Amino acid sequence: MENDKLNEESTENNSGFIQMKRFHFVMLLFFVVFLAAGITTFALAFGDEKVVTVATERKEFDKLYSAFDTLKEGYYKELDQDKLVNGAINGMIEALEDPYSDYMNEEEAQKFRESISSSFEGIGAEITEQEGYITIVSPLKGSPAEKAGLKPNDKVISVDDKSLRGMSTTEAVMLIRGEKGTEVKLVIQRPGMDEPLNVTIVRDTIPIETVYGEMVDDKVAKVQITSFAETTSKELVTILNDLQKQGMEGLILDLRQNPGGLLNQAVNISSLFVPKGEILFQIEDREGNTEETKSENDNNVNFPLVVLIDKGSASASEILAAAVSESADVPLVGEKSYGKGTVQRAKDFTDGSNIKFTTEKWLTPKGNWIHEKGIDPDFKVSLPSYADLPIINPEDKLKLSTASTSVKTAQQMLEAIGYKPGRTDGFFDEKTEAAVKKFQKAEKLKATGVLTGQSTVTLMNKLREKIQSNDTQVDKALEVLKEQMK
C-alpha cells in the first residue's frame, strides 16, 4: 500500500432537479458525485416542496440513481445504504485499473494513517496490487515479515485460507494485520518457483522508526532509511549529527528494501544532499504540463556519499536516489530499483473514510519516467545467490528419504553456512542427515537429524546472519566511497 500522500482541497459542484424520494441517497452519494466533477453551489428547498434544486443537471448519474432505486425497492432483503455507497465508490476506483488508487472506509483509513504516523500491529510488509495479485513491495527492517523471509515481488495468494485474488491492497491489509502475538498464515508464490510456500508469521508491534545508523569503520558510516514516514527527515538529521561526532567523513545511504512513503520527506532528505537550486524531481500532469521541485537547502552535507538501491527500493526512495544521482553526481550501487513513477494524493471525507488516487507522474531531474522500468545503479552488484533462497515452513518435517523443494532449500542453506549436505538436489539422504545432526549439535539443539520446528527457524536465522556478514553490495559501496575520499 503505497503511502505517497499530499492532501488537497477539492472544489464542489453538483446537479439537477432530483425527486424528493431520492434525496437521502443523493446526500449519501454527494462525495461520489464530486469525484467526477467538483461541487460548486447547491440550494435545498424545504416545506411542501417536492423537489430539491441543485445547480445544473448531471445526466451521467441517472443510471447510477436508477440502479440504486431498483435495488432499494426490489431486492429481496433490506439493504444497507452505506454499504451500497461504499460499493459505488469502490467500483469507480477499480474502474481506473490503477493499483495505487484505493478507497478506504473509516476503519481502513485509520489504519492507513497509523502506518505513516505511529506504530501498528501486523507483519510489517509493504504491499501493492499487480495484475490482480497482492504483491510484496518490501518487508520492513526487523519486521516479522523480514524474519520470515518474505521478498519483494512475492505474490500473496491467500491469508488464513482466504484467497486474495482480485482484492484491493486495503482489503488485503485488513486481513493480514492483527493483534500482536497472533498468527497469520500466508500462501506465497515466489517468482521462479513452481510450488507455493506456506508461511506462518506471528504478528508484532511494528514501530515507525525509520532510520538506523552505524559506523562501518573509523571514518565511514552506513545509514539505512527503511521508509519515509512523518519524522524520517528529523530522525536522519539527528543520526547524521551523532555520526559526525563519532568521526564520520563518508556516508553509505542504504535505501534497499525501502518501499517509499511521504513525498515531502523525500524532498526534505534529497535537499540535504542536492545543492540549492538544483532539480530534485519534476511533476507532470495529464495535460503534459511539468513543474520542477528544486532543492532549497543552503546547508548541504559536505562529505562523500554513495547510495545503495535494490528491487525493493520504490517510489519516494527512487525519487531520492534519482535526485542525488542526476543532480549531485552521487554514485548508485546495487540492483535496479522497483520502478514506481506516479504520485498519489489522499482526500479525507467527513465520516473519516478516504480515497487515495494517482494524480501525476513524477520524472527524474533529467525528465526520465522510471515507471515499471526502475533506476539502474552505476555499479551493479548482486547479493550472493543464497540471499534469495526461499523460506522453509517450520511445521514441515524434512527427514531421511524425503524429497522436495524444501529439502533442496535446506541443503543449500546448510551448504551456505558451512555444513556439507553432500547434495543439493532435494533428496534427503544419509549425508544430509549427518549435516543436519552436526548443525543441531553446534547450535545446542536435539540432534535428531530431522529438520523441523526450532531447528528450521535456527537454520534460517544463521543464514540471515551469513547474508548480513557477507553483504557484497555494502562492500562495493565502501570501495567506491573510499575512492571518493582519497
Looking at the annotation, which residues are catalytic?
A: 315, 326, 340
User: Is the four-CA dihedral 193, 416, 314, 278 of positive or negative sign?
Assistant: negative
> Which 8-state DSSP code applies to residue 21?
G
Of all helices (H) and strands (E), which one includes residue 286? none
Sequence-distant (≥ 6) Cβ neighbours of residue 327 within 8 angstroms: 274, 275, 278, 279, 280, 295, 365
> 151: burial class by Cβ within 10 Å (0-12, 13-18, 19+)?
buried
| 356 CB-contact burial (10 Å; exposed 0-12 / middle 13-18 / buried 19+) | buried
Query: Kind and range of the H or E element at 204?
Result: strand 204-206
What does each C-alpha distance from 377 to 223, 256, 342, 476 come to in angstroms?
18, 12, 20, 12
Compute φ and ψ for 330, nearest 5 degrees: -85, 130
198: burial class by Cβ within 10 Å (0-12, 13-18, 19+)? Answer: middle
CA dist., res. 379 & res. 237, Å (int): 27
- Tell me how far apart the alpha carbons of residues 462 and 291 are, in angstroms, rounded to a whole number: 49
**Triad 383, 389, 395: Cα angle to 5°:** 150
- The two most distant CA atoms of the chain are separated, in Å, by 91
Which 3 state secondary structure label does DSSP give 348? strand
Cα(346)–Cα(358) distance, rounded to whole angstroms?
Answer: 9
Tell me the three cell numbers of residue 414: 546448510
